[in-house]
Amino acid sequence: GQNIDQPTEMTATEGAIVQINCTYQTSGFNGLFWYQQHAGEAPTFLSYNVLDGLEEKGRFSSFLSRSKGYSYLLLKELQMKDSASYLCAVRFRKKLSFGAGTTVTVRA
Amino acid sequence: GAVVSQHPSWVICKSGTSVKIECRSLDFQATTMFWYRQFPKQSLMLMATSNEGSKATYEQGVEKDKFLINHASLTLSTLTVTSAHPEDSSFYICSARGDPKGESSYEQYFGPGTRLTVT
């Protein structure tokens, strides 16, 4: 089975940095994805890690440690529009298994 | 590129009726499509995987006779919720992949979702 854990909620102020952790225990691993999902909308792709290390893309960075079953998504210079749910997903055998999502609220 | 559409975006139906949801890949050929269901404040749960021209593979606990999936072409998959009941009310999201090997980094693209309310 797949077990993917991430915090339920996080709150931060505009301009700050927030780190969303994700731990996973899965029967296999072909990569880890982070998605952003606004309420009532479909997820949009943010990042992908398949090797250990940090992937940086603008204000968003994602880190992976396969030996620890651990990833984090780092959001820098937070903006109000970053208020959303952030989903961690692990791919195995072409299927994605999602965590429950972390709701990030950005306050002025 | 890589746009996936869903229709309808929102539907209300009466208990006992059937509802069909369409998922289309607009600018690429989708060899594989996935159907997810998401309840409020919960994560996406994979319901089934469909490959063009073959029967869908359902996840454990998903009734194949209730959720009929057809992937008749490389750009269209449909999900029919048969004899819908209030507990089927949910957000249904499809996703399409165009790389048959499934090895590219982010080749899975999501549709905008369909909100189903069964009264």
User: Is B43–A98 a contact, with Cβ atoms under 8 angstroms apart?
Assistant: yes
pLDDT of A35:
94
B40-93 pLDDT, tens digit each: 888 899 999 998 888 899 999 999 999 999 988 889 999 999 999 999 999 999
Q: For residue A44, list chain B residues with Cβ-Cβ distance below 8 A.
A: 110
The minimal CB distance from A42 to the residues B45, B97, B112 is found for: B112
Region A26-53: mean pLDDT is 91
B28-54 pLDDT, tens digit each: 888 889 999 999 888 899 999 998 888
Region B2-12: mean pLDDT is 92
Contact residues for B24 (Cβ-Cβ < 8 A; gap 6+): B4, B5, B6, B7, B75, B76
A92-108 pLDDT, tens digit each: 887 899 999 999 999 99
Q: If pLDDT is split at 50, 70 and 90, which confidence band does B11 have?
A: very high
Q: Minimal Cα–Cα distance from A77 to chain B, Å?
A: 25
The minimal CB distance from A48 to the residues B106, B111, B113 is found for: B106
The minimal CB distance from A94 to the residues B102, B106, B112 is found for: B102
User: Is B91–A40 a contact, with Cβ atoms under 8 angstroms apart?
Assistant: yes
**Which tokens hold the place of B110?**
């999501």
Alpha carbon distance B98, B25 (integer Å): 9
Chain A residues with at least one Cβ partner in B under 8 Å: 31, 33, 35, 40-45, 48, 50, 87, 94-101
Q: For residue B109, list chain A residues with Cβ-Cβ distance below 8 A.
A: 45
- Least Cα distance to B97 among B35, B29, B27, B48 occurs for B29
Handedness of CA A41, A47, A48, A51 (dihedral sign): negative
pLDDT of B72:
83
pLDDT of B22:
97
pLDDT of A42:
84
User: Is A41–B106 a contact, with Cβ atoms under 8 angstroms apart?
Assistant: no
B95-113 pLDDT, tens digit each: 998 765 555 555 688 999 9
Mean pLDDT of chain A: 94
Q: For residue B93, list chain A residues with Cβ-Cβ distance below 8 A.
A: 42-43
Question: Do A70 and A21 touch, CB atoms closer than 8 A?
Answer: yes
